[in-house]
């Protein structure tokens, strides 16, 4: 059997009702939800289970909600002796990955991502920034389109997700110009995303500065499991590297395709998406169909994943 990586989702994977089965059926998950509620001083559990969707979509709520469900799923997996050789997380998911690697305490992580969400939201006034997904164009061409569309403003690749999908971020007008150019250049789709701020571009530098001050106050530990980080698409293992990576990722692009390829190059052939939704499983199929893609977000997906992992170990 090859190696296994746990992947942790980021924003846009949330949905009302996420984590319900984990909470109802597994004590390890219950403990995580209780810990999150205590650390935050309000019921993130209720928000995960019941929404409303509009509140769950607010960045300052989305981030701790996804982290909580992801770590709940992780603890249930760990109890069943499923272990990762590597971890990685998409944007916000890097915090979940660091909890999995033992670099960050969960209570610290959930408070950090709540603040991260607030700071990102407050960095740019409503309507000033935007993000868009460009499908069916090579990442290098999308970068060139952004340079042409900028016209003195900011627009740049923010999530290099797969050979088929690049998300761009920046000033709303510049993003709109880039979408038009992408459509003219033969993109399969080029659509403005329903997000509340332009993540992973230089407009996030005020948020990065505020978050850096918070991260300096939090104890980090060396990683027990190596992590492939967003900003460099390379393995990190020290506490200080982990802290710096979380600072830098606020305004720099998520190099997701490269991160996945790095994991495959290191012998990973089984990927388990741990947390709500199957966004990362979808991207994985676009990157390399030869690897096994599993997920854990409820009892059914847990059962399937455990069966497939055991079968692979037995073969």
Task: Report strand pairing: 165-171 vs 129-135.
Answer: antiparallel
Q: What is the pLDDT of residue 308?
A: 94
From 13, 91, 196, 293, the catalytic residue: 91
* Helix-strand-coil split of the chain, %, nearest 5: 50, 15, 30
Q: What is the pLDDT along the chain (315 residues), one digit of tens a residue?
A: 699 999 999 998 999 999 999 999 999 999 999 999 999 999 999 999 999 999 999 999 999 999 999 999 999 999 998 999 999 999 999 999 999 999 999 999 999 999 999 999 999 999 999 999 999 999 999 999 999 999 999 999 999 999 999 999 999 999 999 999 999 999 999 999 988 899 999 999 999 999 999 999 999 999 999 999 999 999 999 999 999 999 999 999 999 999 999 999 999 999 999 999 999 999 999 999 999 999 999 999 999 999 999 998 887
Host domain of residue 166: 129-195
Task: Report strand pairing: 268-274 vs 292-296.
Answer: parallel
Active site residue 91: yes
* Count of domains forming the chain: 2
Could you say which of 175, 195, 215 is where a domain stops? 195
| 181 shares its domain with 292 | no
Cβ(121)–Cβ(60) under 8 Å?
yes
Instruction: State the DSSP code for 237.
Output: -
| 220 shares its domain with 300 | yes
| 58 shares its domain with 175 | no
Any bridge partners for residue 6, and if so which? 87, 272
Cβ(8)–Cβ(104) under 8 Å?
no
Q: What is the pLDDT of residue 210?
A: 98
| 22 shares its domain with 119 | yes
Cβ(161)–Cβ(139) under 8 Å?
no
191 CB-contact burial (10 Å; exposed 0-12 / middle 13-18 / buried 19+): middle
Could you say which of 172, 195, 218 is where a domain stops? 195
Cα–Cα distance, 237 to 136 (Å, whole number): 35
193 CB-contact burial (10 Å; exposed 0-12 / middle 13-18 / buried 19+): middle
Residues in the chain: 315
Report CA-CA distances (Å) from 166 to 17, 20, 139, 201, 266: 29, 32, 6, 13, 24
Could you say which of 169, 195, 221 is where a domain stops? 195
| 177 shares its domain with 211 | no
| 221 shares its domain with 93 | yes
| 288 shares its domain with 224 | yes
CB atoms within 10 A of CB 214: 16
| 100 shares its domain with 231 | yes
**Phi/psi at 275 (5° precision):** 135, -175
CATH code at position 47 = 3.40.366.10
Cα–Cα distance, 79 to 102 (Å, whole number): 15
| 245 shares its domain with 270 | yes
Cis peptide before 173 (omega within 30 of 0): no
CATH code at position 180 = 3.30.70.250
Cβ(92)–Cβ(116) under 8 Å?
yes
Crossing angle of helices 299-314/59-79, nearest 10°?
40
Enter the pTM of the model. 0.97
Q: Report the Cα–Cα distance between both ends of the chain, in Å, rounded.
A: 8
Residue at token pair 């209570």: 107
Residue 2 region, left (φ>0) first, then alpha (ψ -120 to 50), else beta? beta
Q: Give the distance, in angstroms, between the CA of residue 263 and the centroid of all CA atoms in the same chain.
A: 16
Cβ(256)–Cβ(161) under 8 Å?
yes
Cβ(298)–Cβ(274) under 8 Å?
no
From 70, 90, 200, 293, the catalytic residue: 200
Cα–Cα distance, 212 to 214 (Å, whole number): 5
| 234 shares its domain with 282 | yes
Q: DSSP characters for 166-213?
A: EEEEEEHHHHHHHHHHHHHTT-SEEEE---SS--SSGGGHHHHHHHHH
CB atoms within 10 A of CB 12: 20
Q: What is the pLDDT of residue 315?
A: 78
Q: What is the pLDDT of residue 191?
A: 94
| 97 shares its domain with 215 | yes
Active site residue 200: yes
| 60 shares its domain with 102 | yes
Any bridge partners for residue 270, and if so which? 4, 292
Q: What is the pLDDT of residue 314?
A: 83
């Amino acid at each position: 059997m090859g190696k296994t990586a746990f992947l942790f989702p980021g924003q846009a994977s949330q949905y009302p009702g996420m984590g319900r089965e984990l909470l109802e059926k597994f004590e390890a998950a219950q403990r995580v939800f209780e810990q999150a509620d205590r650390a935050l001083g309000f019921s993130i559990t209720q928000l995960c289970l019941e929404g409303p969707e509009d509140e769950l979509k607010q960045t300052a709520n989305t981030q701790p909600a996804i982290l909580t469900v992801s770590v709940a799923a992780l603890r249930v997996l760990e109890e069943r002796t499923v272990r990762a050789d590597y971890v990685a997380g998409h944007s916000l998911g890097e915090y979940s990955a660091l909890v999995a690697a033992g670099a960050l305490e969960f209570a610290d992580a959930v408070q950090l991502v709540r603040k991260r969400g607030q700071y990102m939201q407050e960095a740019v006034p409503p309507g000033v920034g935007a993000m868009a997904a460009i499908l069916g164009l090579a990442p290098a061409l999308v970068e060139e389109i952004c340079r042409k569309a900028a016209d003195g403003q900011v627009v740049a690749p923010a999530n290099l997700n797969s050979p088929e999908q690049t998300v761009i971020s920046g000033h709303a007008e510049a993003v709109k110009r880039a979408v038009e150019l992408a459509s003219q250049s033969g993109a399969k789709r080029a659509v403005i995303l329903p997000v509340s701020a332009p993540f992973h571009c230089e407009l996030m530098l005020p948020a990065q500065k505020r978050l850096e001050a918070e991260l300096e106050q939090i104890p980090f530990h060396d990683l027990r499991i190596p992590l492939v980080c967003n900003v460099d698409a390379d393995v990190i293992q020290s506490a200080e590297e982990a802290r710096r990576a979380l600072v830098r990722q606020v305004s720099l692009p998520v190099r997701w395709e490269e991160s996945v390829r790095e994991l495959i190059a290191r012998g990973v052939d089984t990927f388990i998406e741990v947390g709500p939704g199957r966004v990362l499983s979808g991207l994985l199929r676009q990157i390399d169909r030869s690897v096994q893609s599993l997920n854990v977000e409820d009892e059914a997906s847990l059962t399937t994943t455990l069966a497939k992992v055991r079968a692979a170990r037995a073969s």
